[in-house]
A and B are shown apart, each in its own frame.
Chain A
Amino acid sequence: MNEYRSEQNQQAAMQANASATASGASAPLRSTRRGVIVRAVLAAATLAPLLLALAPREAQALPAFARQTGQNCVACHAGGQFPELTPYGRMFKMTGYTIGQRALPLSMMGVVSASRVSNTSKSDNPPADFQKQGAPIFATGSLFIAGKVTENIGLFSQITYDNYAGQGVAADGVGAGEFKGHTNADNIDLRYADRFIDANRDLIVGVSLNNNPSVSDPWNTAAAWMQYVPVPSPTSSAFVDGNAPYPGFGSGGNVAGVTAYAYLNKTFYAELGGYQTANRGFSILSAGINDAGTTKLKGTNPYWRLAYTREWGPNNIMVGASGMTADIYDDPTDTSDPNTIARTKNLGFDAQYQYLLDPHTVTAQLAYMTNDIHYSNAVANQPSAFASDAAGTMGLANSNSSDTTHTLRAKLTYTYQAKYGGSLGFFNLTGTTNTLNQTSGYDPTTGLITSDPTGALGATALSTRVGGNLSGNPATRGFTYEAFWTPVQYVRVGMQYTSYSKFNGASSNYDGLGRDAKDNNTLFFYVWGAY
């Protein structure tokens, strides 16, 4: 029974831990990779006492929902690892975020991170390709407005600031190549819910107005929720887990949807809804995203979700399926031409098992999704700019009229005392080969595969370095290993290592310029806090 934990001991242990990290970090370390970690750990160690000073003994001063229910994060988040929900957390969400009492509906979240890609030498411009290599960055921050509104209405809304959203060009006020931050509506879920429960029957029904298919879903294997940690935009942290493939709906986020759902006898869950373009009356759902960046959908696009759940002892499982069909305009600024509409069809299967018995939490997750895309007439059947061989023969097939991809994600997580945890994740994206995907290839005039940064060789079809795709196949596969520590319930410090055995269709030389999948292996350190 030495697993038994007392709150006082936790506080003492946290302090001891914080100082131990600080003294350990001051020891001289030589390798640069360790250097990054040391710097990040140092930053965390400086932060930790600060956070401890803020740490309330009571549960009251926590993020918005915890203030509303007066409960600790562990009540709703499995093993304290946000955002994964416990059965109670799911009931809290399904009943419309209305349990408890109205409280200050504001919370903040921030992620500080550092990442390091294993090989930066196979690039003709490493400072451009790996811009924030090894540098600790303030990655993203979010403001949440969340809470009970009336007896039946509650809100979860997240407005996110991505410090590395884009890069300036010479014409901007910002210097060319400098990063620009950007704020936009991230996740929004406004819902109305009611629950009819007595000894014989339990029926929860609700309606959600939301901006991202599956953001309304209570399980964390749903496309909108499976990712571990919010990561900064790809240009600053190229290959960390969040940028590796995840199941997702073709429509993407920042669309406007209304879904209706029912959960019967804690056993069957069904949700049905439709999504439209988030403009005009719905523009709040894509706030901060300019018109050209807002996904334009044709008409109302159906979304559905079914799940079966069961609880026994400390265990619970969910087995489910979901799907969506969406008609998407190729060019968000021009919705006049019916020949520029692509149709995507998604079908997903997911399952989750949780074992929750203090001090242990085990979660196994599986999510699989197929995406069928039928390209618009304007995009289908287009000739490739690349030649098929070094002789400059223009023999590549025209682009496909449709493609299919399959994305699989599996993850196993364990946390102890809601404080120490680790996870192992697997991802595998496979799909049809299409010359449209090719961003590298033989140049017809020079017969070279070149990214020709100087223009001196006179190539006309330039290949893309590092992010390029020579095969036209999207296959990407690998593992993510993670260890994390939750010193106080609303701060998580973690380290992830993502290793790739395939990237953009190949294990070696996937970009045609000599880069191998494993060159993208990435170490990612983060400090994630919410208040």
Chain B
Amino acid sequence: MKRISLTLVLTLAVIGAGCSSMERSRSLASPSTPAKTLAAQVCSNCHSIDGNSVSPNFPKLAEQQPDYIVAQLKGFRNHRRADPEGFEYMWGISRSLTDDQIKGLAAYFAAQKSVSPGPGDPKLVAEGKNIFDKGLPAKGVPPCSTCHGDHGQGNGEFPRVAYQHSDYVIKQLTVFQRTNERPDGVAMKAITHSLSDQNMAAVAAYLQQMPSK
């Protein structure tokens, strides 16, 4: 008996030491873990391996602008982006990532194909499209498309918003409007200033299903 269990523990240890290839590592603190490995072994748990997260608690990263991903990961790492979910989930994940790993992760997710998580609330979509394409001139809200692109595809540090989960979009619009927890979003703070809850829900419903390129 003693021998069996000792053998077992030793075998485990040997397998553990021998097979721990960096190819399938879940270590967040070793610069040698390839970005692709991190994406598959760690990020995929919440954001999905192709960046099309299932749960709206987790933003979709597929086809996201690489510059934007880099900026956000660095923002989490240096605690500049401090909205509650960012702090609860992403500060720890990003704390020891190297700049190179961040670049690799951004390239990985940017290269994935984004798919819609499903149609938005049909009662809201038309109003949302209107806000996105034309803004709300009466309230001084510019069209979202001016910065986020005609198809919501984003550009550089202007994030892709097309096909994003509507629950996540509403949450972020609220963060911009009511807090200073995303200081890189000063533009968004001004834009969301006079958006009503209804406006936010509408534009979010549209983004989730919008025809996109």
Residues of A within 8 A of B (CB): 1, 4-7, 58-60, 66, 69-72, 74-75, 87-88, 91-92, 95, 98-102, 148-153, 190, 192, 194-199, 202, 207, 209, 256, 258, 276, 279-282, 311-314, 356-358
Q: What are 20 sample pairs from A and B whose C-beta atoms fall under 8 A apart?
A: A7-B84, A59-B87, A69-B93, A71-B89, A87-B45, A92-B45, A99-B28, A99-B45, A100-B28, A151-B16, A152-B15, A152-B16, A152-B20, A153-B12, A195-B24, A199-B49, A276-B1, A280-B2, A314-B167, A357-B55
Give the most central of A197, A199, A311: most B CB within 10 Å.
Answer: A197
Out of A87, A95, A202, name the residue touching B26 (CB < 8 Å): A95
Kindly identify, within residues 154 to 201 of chain B, every residue whose CB is under 8 Å from any CB belonging to chain A.
167, 170-171, 174-175, 178-179, 181, 197, 200
| Chain B residues whose CB sits within 8 angstroms of the CB of A71 once the complex forms | 88-89, 91-93
Complexed CA–CA distance, A280 and B181 (Å): 56
Give the most central of A72, A190, A207, A279: most B CB within 10 Å.
Answer: A72
Interface contact B91-A58, CB-CB below 8 Å: yes
Complexed CA–CA distance, A357 and B170 (Å): 12
Query: Does B116 interact with chain A (Cβ within 8 Å)?
Result: no
Q: Mark B16-27, 1 if CB is under 8 A from A, else 0.
A: 110111101111
Complexed CA–CA distance, A279 and B85 (Å): 46
Interface contact A207-B12, CB-CB below 8 Å: yes
| Chain A residues whose CB sits within 8 angstroms of the CB of B123 once the complex forms | none
Query: Does B213 interact with chain A (Cβ within 8 Å)?
Result: no
Query: Does B96 interact with chain A (Cβ within 8 Å)?
Result: yes
With A100-B92, A357-B167 as known contacts, state yes or no: A202 contacts B49, CB within 8 Å.
yes
Interface contact A1-B197, CB-CB below 8 Å: yes
Complexed CA–CA distance, A60 and B96 (Å): 13
Complexed CA–CA distance, A149 and B45 (Å): 21
Complexed CA–CA distance, A95 and B87 (Å): 23
Residues of B within 8 A of A (CB): 1-6, 8-9, 12-13, 15-17, 19-22, 24-29, 40-42, 44-46, 49-50, 54-57, 82-85, 87-89, 91-93, 95-96, 117-118, 167, 170-171, 174-175, 178-179, 181, 197, 200
Complexed CA–CA distance, A358 and B59 (Å): 13
Q: Main SS of chain A's interface residues? A: mixed
Out of A150, A209, A256, A312, name the residue touching B20 (CB < 8 Å): A150
Interface contact B88-A282, CB-CB below 8 Å: no
| Chain A residues whose CB sits within 8 angstroms of the CB of B54 once the complex forms | 311-313
| Chain B residues whose CB sits within 8 angstroms of the CB of A75 once the complex forms | 88-89, 92
Complexed CA–CA distance, A198 and B41 (Å): 9
With A281-B2, A281-B3 as known contacts, state yes or no: A358 contacts B85, CB within 8 Å.
yes
Complexed CA–CA distance, A7 and B25 (Å): 32
Interface contact A72-B20, CB-CB below 8 Å: no
| Chain B residues whose CB sits within 8 angstroms of the CB of A150 once the complex forms | 16-17, 20
Out of B15, B19, B40, B82, name the residue touching A197 (CB < 8 Å): B40
Interface contact A6-B181, CB-CB below 8 Å: yes
Interface contact B1-A198, CB-CB below 8 Å: no
Out of B9, B24, B170, name the residue touching A1 (CB < 8 Å): B170
Complexed CA–CA distance, A70 and B42 (Å): 13
| Chain A residues whose CB sits within 8 angstroms of the CB of B16 once the complex forms | 149-153, 192
Complexed CA–CA distance, A59 and B24 (Å): 26
Interface contact B8-A209, CB-CB below 8 Å: yes
| Chain A residues whose CB sits within 8 angstroms of the CB of B24 once the complex forms | 151, 194-196
Interface contact A74-B88, CB-CB below 8 Å: yes
Determine the residue in chain A with the shortest Cβ distance to B36: A198
| Chain B residues whose CB sits within 8 angstroms of the CB of A74 once the complex forms | 88
Determine the residue in chain B with the shortest Cβ distance to A200: B49
| Chain B residues whose CB sits within 8 angstroms of the CB of A358 once the complex forms | 57, 85, 171
Complexed CA–CA distance, A71 and B88 (Å): 5
Complexed CA–CA distance, A149 and B16 (Å): 9
| Chain B residues whose CB sits within 8 angstroms of the CB of A92 once the complex forms | 45
Interface contact A59-B91, CB-CB below 8 Å: yes
Other A-B contacts than A59-B87, A192-B16, 9 sampled, CB-CB below 8 A, are A7-B87, A70-B93, A72-B88, A101-B27, A151-B16, A152-B20, A311-B55, A313-B118, A314-B55
| Chain A residues whose CB sits within 8 angstroms of the CB of B95 once the complex forms | 70
| Chain A residues whose CB sits within 8 angstroms of the CB of B167 once the complex forms | 314, 357
| Chain A residues whose CB sits within 8 angstroms of the CB of B12 once the complex forms | 153, 190, 192, 207, 209
Give the most central of B12, B25, B42: most A CB within 10 Å.
Answer: B12
| Chain B residues whose CB sits within 8 angstroms of the CB of A256 once the complex forms | 5
Complexed CA–CA distance, A91 and B58 (Å): 15
Determine the residue in chain A with the shortest Cβ distance to B200: A1
Interface contact A357-B96, CB-CB below 8 Å: no
Interface contact B85-A313, CB-CB below 8 Å: no
| Chain B residues whose CB sits within 8 angstroms of the CB of A151 once the complex forms | 16, 20-22, 24-27
Determine the residue in chain B with the shortest Cβ distance to A57: B87
Complexed CA–CA distance, A336 and B211 (Å): 75
Interface contact A197-B44, CB-CB below 8 Å: yes
Interface contact B5-A282, CB-CB below 8 Å: yes
| Chain B residues whose CB sits within 8 angstroms of the CB of A152 once the complex forms | 15-16, 19-20
Query: Min CB distance, A11 to chain B, in Å?
Result: 12
Determine the residue in chain B with the shortest Cβ distance to A102: B29
**What are the 3 tightest A-B residue pairs by CB atom distance, in nearest-first order?**
A70-B92, A281-B5, A151-B20
Determine the residue in chain A with the shortest Cβ distance to B178: A4
Complexed CA–CA distance, A74 and B84 (Å): 11
Determine the residue in chain B with the shortest Cβ distance to A284: B5
Complexed CA–CA distance, A58 and B92 (Å): 9
Interface contact A69-B179, CB-CB below 8 Å: no
Query: Min CB distance, B167 to chain A, in Å?
Result: 6
Interface contact B55-A356, CB-CB below 8 Å: yes
Interface contact A199-B50, CB-CB below 8 Å: yes
| Chain B residues whose CB sits within 8 angstroms of the CB of A258 once the complex forms | 8
Interface contact A198-B40, CB-CB below 8 Å: yes
